[in-house]
Amino acid sequence: MTLDPAYLEYPHRHQGYDHDLYDWSALKDRKPVRWPGDAKVVVWVCVSLEYFPLAPSDMPFRAPGHMQTPYPDYRHYTARDYGTRIGFYRLLDALGQAGVKASIATNSTIADRYPSIIADIIAGGHEIIAHSTDMNGTIATGLAEADERALISSALDTLEGVSGTRPQGWLSIARSQSRNTGRLLAEAGVRYACDWVNDELPYRFTNGLINLPLNHELSDRQIIATQQHSAESYGQQMLDAFDWLSAEAAREGSGRMLPLHITPYIMGLPYRIGAFEALLAALMARGAWFATGGEIVDAWDAQQ
């Protein structure tokens, strides 16, 4: 049986992916990256500051962490609200004591309802990343393009209006995008997004948008809430990851990145926050360069 010649003419059969969003690139084959101060590993603390409406929307999908029992689900609502009222300020205190600047991925409804929180973020020298409008503002294929464009614009405009600075970064809820998201973010002037987790360093889309990977497997939600590990175990796992990346960076002659994705209503509890403070101190002692997402993108982009 002979092979149909058309088989070899498949237009997407080539080295790399069956799409043209970005090029294939193995980490080992790239130009070495040097971090400021010759640090081997940059640590990126990204805090998700979320507003959960009391009534969830399941379109196009229900956001992780949303209300679970029949309306009104006060138990889960107030647990999430604890993160805004209490947990987030414990995280701000821990970051301030350690001298660490973080990226705060913020729903724009937080700016509308609690502008004092935005003022405190700015006063602490932290960066604000746009994180949709609220936790009903999910994105997936099937969402009308006009609606998605309006959601992105609303989030960016509101955060800019309250903070005085237009966010240059974007984190989608559950890191979910539609087929239009990358283009719409670039059109809205967003410089980098944090949704695609297939790397450990920034890389560039063909439309110019930069992806800064925020690995879900390294988040407190995944390790503590889903896998049911202790905060102390989470901290040790992050130190193990740092040590591995540091050794790899020394061996390969190129810097590495460790993202710490933190949730206020998880890590901000009184029996966990001490482990977070200890983790920051241990990473500082190991010579980590702590940076915001924007600072990481700037340092990486200047070397491309």
Annotated domain spans of the chain: 34-301
Residue 1: pLDDT over 80: no
- Residue range 34-301 in CATH 3.40.605.10: no
Task: Give me the pLDDT at residue 14, please.
Answer: 67
Paired tokens of 89: 């300020």
Model confidence pLDDT, tens digit, residues 112-160: 999 999 999 999 999 999 999 999 999 999 999 999 999 999 999 999 9
For 143, list phi and psi in degrees, rounded to 5: -70, 130
Residue 18: pLDDT over 90: no
Model confidence pLDDT, tens digit, residues 176-224: 999 999 999 999 999 999 999 999 999 999 999 999 999 999 999 999 9
Which uninterrupted H or E stretch holds 42? Answer: strand 41-49
Q: Can you point out the beta strands (E) in 50-133?
A: 103-106, 127-130
Task: Give me the pLDDT at residue 5, please.
Answer: 72
Task: Give me the pLDDT at residue 211, please.
Answer: 98
What is the signed CA dihedral for 266, 223, 91, 77, rounded to 10 degrees? -20
Residue type, 46: C
- Burial letters for 150-174: b for 16+ Cβ neighbours within 10 Å, e otherwise? ebbebbbebbbebbeeebbbbbbbb
- pTM higher than 0.75: yes
Measured between alpha carbons, how far is 178 from 176 in angstroms, rounded to an integer? Answer: 7
Residue 10 pLDDT level (bands cut at 50, 70, 90): low
SS3 per residue for 182-212:
HHHHHHCCCCEECCCCCCCCCEECCCCCEEC
